[in-house]
């Protein structure tokens, strides 16, 4: 149900220079989702009446990405006046003129702050009839953060930024997280009074807290239970820290739900992955995108799955697959590479050093080892011999190979597409299949073997091979 008295402004205008990247900071991903995508998901979970994003750096790219993640998002451009206060001031212009509720301010680079924590902030704000309530955190080292300054009674007095803090204020360990909720009327009134006379010549949103306090309004700071909840991401180190923390939470969640994970430290699971109970993940597994795994499957070790669908009881060892479907009780690997469009049927097998692409392999069929199967359909209960290649590309176009059911092909075959091998057919070892093979036929194209006796001794005299041949000939005479 929509909270008609709640609007959310997401601050997403920063350049993020410390990331040293051509990608906008808030579009870097953790757990398969951009940083700002986590923030948008949290905002949406709160069911606000309005969500506004204030953007500036790489404006079109950021606005497009955010709008795709949250349709209906209101986009506002920050102007040349710097500072979070100015960003919020502009964000307020996107709200209806008659909106009289609460405005939640969140940062686009704080991905781990969850809806439950923010809901507690909103409840605290409303219960206390406050004009402003912010989330704070207690840190052992508060360097770089704005400090929460309280009076002798422990009541929030003001916030002072690091560059404007006195020596005494720098010793304070309670920091401002950058997440606030304001009653919109007092916020509008006090923002109009905020100037830029500070060390950074910016319009600080934090100044509003002190102005509200001086005007006699109630302001409060609510410490979070864990500081990492409000940790921002400003560089690659912090990005990795946030990714690790979120992955630990995701892994633990799957464990609690009945998934066996042998080595949580080496197992990485994206947020949108779904895993049924009684799945077993061995060390070194990475599950990405919208991968789904049904019960009793065993994945790993050392396996990466991207946007794959794994059916019940399937086994995948030391392999990589993208946009692939693995049937129930099928097996893959070790060292298999399944490219997009690979579909292995129930109880089928893709074995060691096999690559597949745009290939449908029917139930019970096997490609056991050392093969490339591309643009191919294989029926049921067929066996593709070792070292088989489907030659699907003529230098201009791709062509399809069709292998029927209950087919047995020899080792080291080449199927030159387009070609069909009928049901129940066989092919001999070393065969190059250029023409269709009728059902039940045996296809061979080997030339008679010719042995040129004495060739080595005549043409490679003095070599170890010639000496060995001479000795063998002497012993047989």
Q: Is 393 annotated as a binding residue?
A: yes
Percent of the chain having pLDDT more than 70?
A: 100
477: confidence class by pLDDT, cuts 50, 70, 90: low
**Per-residue pLDDT tens digits for 304-338:** 999 999 999 999 999 999 999 999 999 999 999 99
**Per-residue pLDDT tens digits for 422-439:** 999 999 999 999 999 999
Query: Sign (positive/negative) of CA torsion 184, 188, 193, 195?
Result: positive
Q: Is 25 annotated as a binding residue?
A: yes
List the structure tokens of 177.
């997280």
Query: Sign (positive/negative) of CA torsion 399, 291, 39, 145?
Result: negative
**Per-residue pLDDT tens digits for 160-183:** 988 889 999 999 999 999 999 999
Bridge pairing between strands 29-30 and 33-34: antiparallel
Q: Is 78 annotated as a binding residue?
A: yes
Whether residue 369 lies in the annotated active site: yes
Q: Is 321 annotated as a binding residue?
A: no
Query: Sign (positive/negative) of CA torsion 450, 453, 457, 458?
Result: negative
**Beta bridge partner(s), residue 150:** 156
Q: Is 14 annotated as a binding residue?
A: yes
Query: Mean pLDDT over residues 95-112, rounded?
Result: 97
Q: Is 13 annotated as a binding residue?
A: yes
Residue 447 has pLDDT above 90, yes or no: no
The residues near 191 (Cβ < 8 Å, ≥ 6 apart) are 85, 88, 89, 92, 205, 208
Residue 396 has pLDDT above 80, yes or no: yes
SS3 for 263? coil
Query: Mean pLDDT over residues 221-225, rounded?
Result: 94
- Which position among 28, 254, 369, 399 bears the catalytic label? 369
List the structure tokens of 122.
């909103």
The residues near 315 (Cβ < 8 Å, ≥ 6 apart) are 297, 298, 299, 330, 331, 332, 333
CA distance 1 to 16: 35
Contact (CB, 8 A) for 354 and 371: yes
30-34, 176-180, 445-449, range with the lowest pLDDT: 445-449
Query: Hey, what domains does the chain have and what are their CATH numbers?
Result: 3-230 (3.90.550.10), 259-364 (2.160.10.10)
Q: Is 139 annotated as a binding residue?
A: no
Q: What is the mean pLDDT of the chain?
A: 95
């Amino acid at each position: 149900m929509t909270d008609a008295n709640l609007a959310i402004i997401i601050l997403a205008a920063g350049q993020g220079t410390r990331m040293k990247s051509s990608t906008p900071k808030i579009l870097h991903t953790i757990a398969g989702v951009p940083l700002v995508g986590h923030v948008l998901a949290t905002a949406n979970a709160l069911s606000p009446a309005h969500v506004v994003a204030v953007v500036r750096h790489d404006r079109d790219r950021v606005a497009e990405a955010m709008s795709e993640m949250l349709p209906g998002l209101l986009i506002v451009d920050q102007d040349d006046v710097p500072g979070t206060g100015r960003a919020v001031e502009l964000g307020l212009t996107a709200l209806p003129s008659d909106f009289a509720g609460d405005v939640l301010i969140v940062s686009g680079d704080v991905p781990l702050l969850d809806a439950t924590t923010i809901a507690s902030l909103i409840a605290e704000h409303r219960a206390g009839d406050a004009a402003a309530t912010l989330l704070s955190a207690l840190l052992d080292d508060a360097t770089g953060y704005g400090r929460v300054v309280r009076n002798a009674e422990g009541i929030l007095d003001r916030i002072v930024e690091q560059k404007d803090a006195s020596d005494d204020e720098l010793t304070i360990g309670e920091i401002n997280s950058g997440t606030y909720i304001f009653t919109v009327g007092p916020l509008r009134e006090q923002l109009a009074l905020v100037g830029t006379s500070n060390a950074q010549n910016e319009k600080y949103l934090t100044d509003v807290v002190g102005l509200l306090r001086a005007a006699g309004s109630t302001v409060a700071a609510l410490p979070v239970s864990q500081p990492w909840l409000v940790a921002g991401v400003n560089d690659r180190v912090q990005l990795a820290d946030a990714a690790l923390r979120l992955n630990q939470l995701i892994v633990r969640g799957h464990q609690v739900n009945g998934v066996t994970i042998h080595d949580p430290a080496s197992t990485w699971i994206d947020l949108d992955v779904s895993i049924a109970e009684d799945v077993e993940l061995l060390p070194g597994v990475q599950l990405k995108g919208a991968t789904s795994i049904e019960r009793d499957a065993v994945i790993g070790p050392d396996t990466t799955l991207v946007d794959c669908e794994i059916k019940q009881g399937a086994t995948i060892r030391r392999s990589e697959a993208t946009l692939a479907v693995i049937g129930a009780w099928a097996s893959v690997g070790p060292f298999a590479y399944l490219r997009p469009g690979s579909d292995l049927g129930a109880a089928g097998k893709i074995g060691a050093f096999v690559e597949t692409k745009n290939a449908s392999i029917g139930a019970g069929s096997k490609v056991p080892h050392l093969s490339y199967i591309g643009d191919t359909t294989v029926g049921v209960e067929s066996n593709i011999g070792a070292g088989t290649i489907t030659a699907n590309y003529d230098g201009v176009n791709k062509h399809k190979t069709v292998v029927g059911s209950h087919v047995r092909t020899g080792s080291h075959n080449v199927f030159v597409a387009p070609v069909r091998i009928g049901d129940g057919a066989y092919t001999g070892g070393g065969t190059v299949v250029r023409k269709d093979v009728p059902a039940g036929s045996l296809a061979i194209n080997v030339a008679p073997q010719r042995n040129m006796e004495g060739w080595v001794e005549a043409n490679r005299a003095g070599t170890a091979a010639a000496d060995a041949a001479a000795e063998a000939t002497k012993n047989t005479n």
